[in-house]
């Protein structure tokens, strides 16, 4: 068997592995749409925040007086800046976060405190870097009720601050699509999630001890979704990209460090899953463009390259302004792969000045 045939065989097997993920992602999720229903559950918006004085205002302003929202709770997670004062000035109810207990990670501990203090029937959580439309909480709560799910996370549009940052960010997002079908509606045992916005019933979370179950995870959103799916609960990802934008990272270096901390999904993916993801994305996502450049491409390499270009056009709606950095992101696939490799071999347990 020649080297070419070995390559074709390896590409074919890898494509068979990633194809279901690509198909699930392409179908997308339930689109959030505010309805004119007469009965809406009361909604508490909970925002965990640690040293977010410079970013939280843009998150809070649209929520003031938002339909169905009875309170906006900001859990000030031992900030050393003026996060709490900014939140109070914009009408939020501020809870001073208690000292982090042993075995807990900061964000999920802040969420636990906010959920416990909430008065609404439904809780919508947001990160401080979220930029919501005022209709988002009600639309999410209505979709939760009509879908019958236990929990939903909400897909967003990404707002990037530089062409280089968008270049790497888009390649990293595509890596998640290839490995886990990111953006698909129905959660599977292998699903990913978007913890930047979640919606669920308060009583379900408290009675089920959701936060306690994932208290030590640095990717608490994915861990929680997989726990619930393992229990037989129905979990979805809603499409809220027209109602929510998120400005995650400032430029290339911040994207490399920030998302690189979690994108390998250490602690939730088994080592064999991580290795399989690295192998299949190396063959289907990273290699095709370079095999063509080296003049050793097979016919299946061409198919894989066309699939990658298809994901480029399909995922453009995930970005508020897809610029030239986005369109050149296939050239960053190798860098994104290295970020995942680094996170697999040497996972980071440090975030927001804390080591876990």
CA–CA distance, 169 with 37 (Å, rounded to integer): 38
Structure tokens at 234: 């129905």
Domain boundaries, the chain: 3-27+262-316+324-347, 43-251
CA–CA distance, 52 with 87 (Å, rounded to integer): 10
Read off the pTM.
Answer: 0.93
pLDDT in tens, the chain (356 residues): 688 888 889 999 999 999 999 999 988 889 998 776 667 799 999 999 999 999 999 999 999 999 999 999 999 999 999 999 999 999 999 999 999 999 999 999 999 999 999 999 999 999 999 999 999 999 999 999 999 999 999 999 999 989 999 999 999 999 999 999 988 888 989 889 999 999 999 999 999 999 999 999 989 999 999 999 999 999 999 999 999 999 888 899 999 988 888 899 988 999 999 999 999 999 999 999 999 988 888 999 999 999 999 999 999 999 999 999 999 999 999 999 999 999 998 877 776 667 76
Burial class of residue 319 in the structure, from the number of CB atoms within 10 Å of its CB (0-12 exposed, 13-18 middle, 19+ buried): buried
Are 51 and 89 contacting, i.e. CB atoms less than 8 angstroms apart?
no
CA–CA distance, 262 with 31 (Å, rounded to integer): 26
Taking residue 3's Cβ as centre, other Cβ atoms within 10 Å add up to 8
Helix (H) / strand (E) element for 111: namely helix 106-117
Taking residue 87's Cβ as centre, other Cβ atoms within 10 Å add up to 28
Write the CATH number of the domain with boundaries 43-251: 3.90.550.10
Q: Could you identify the residue written with the tokens 């809406």?
A: 40
């Amino acid at each position: 068997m020649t080297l070419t045939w070995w390559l074709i065989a390896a590409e074919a097997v890898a494509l068979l592995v990633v194809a279901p993920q690509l198909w699930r992602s392409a179908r997308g999720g339930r689109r959030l749409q505010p309805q004119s229903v007469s009965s809406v559950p009361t909604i508490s918006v909970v925002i965990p925040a640690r040293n977010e004085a410079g970013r939280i205002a843009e998150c809070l302003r649209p929520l003031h007086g938002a339909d169905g929202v009875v309170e906006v709770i900001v859990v000030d997670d031992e900030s050393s800046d003026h996060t709490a004062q900014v939140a109070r000035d914009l009408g939020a109810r501020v809870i001073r976060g208690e000292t982090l207990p042993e075995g807990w990670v900061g964000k999920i501990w802040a969420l636990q405190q906010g959920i416990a203090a909430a008065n609404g029937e439904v809780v919508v959580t947001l990160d401080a870097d979220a930029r919501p439309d005022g209709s988002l909480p009600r639309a999410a709560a209505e979709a939760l009720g009509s879908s019958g799910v236990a929990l939903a996370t909400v897909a967003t549009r990404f707002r990037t601050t530089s062409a280089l940052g968008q270049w790497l960010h888009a390649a990293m997002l595509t890596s998640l699509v290839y490995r886990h079908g990111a953006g698909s509606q129905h959660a599977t045992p292998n699903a990913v999630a978007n913890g930047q916005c979640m919606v669920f019933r308060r009583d379900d979370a408290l009675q089920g001890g959701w936060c306690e179950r994932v208290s030590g995870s640095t990717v608490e959103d994915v861990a929680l979704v997989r726990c619930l799916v393992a229990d037989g609960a129905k979990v979805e990802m809603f499409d809220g990209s027209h109602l929510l934008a998120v400005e995650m990272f400032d430029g290339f270096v911040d994207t490399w460090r920030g998302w690189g901390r979690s994108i390998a999904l250490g602690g939730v993916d088994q080592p064999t899953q991580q290795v399989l993801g690295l192998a299949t994305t190396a063959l289907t996502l990273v290699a095709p463009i370079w095999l063509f450049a080296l003049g050793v491409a097979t016919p299946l390499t061409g198919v894989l390259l066309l699939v990658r270009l298809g994901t480029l056009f399909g995922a453009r709606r995930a970005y508020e302004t897809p610029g030239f950095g986005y369109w050149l992101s296939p050239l960053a696939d190798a860098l994104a792969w290295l970020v995942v490799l680094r996170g697999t071999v040497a996972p980071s347990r440090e975030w927001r000045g804390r080591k876990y």
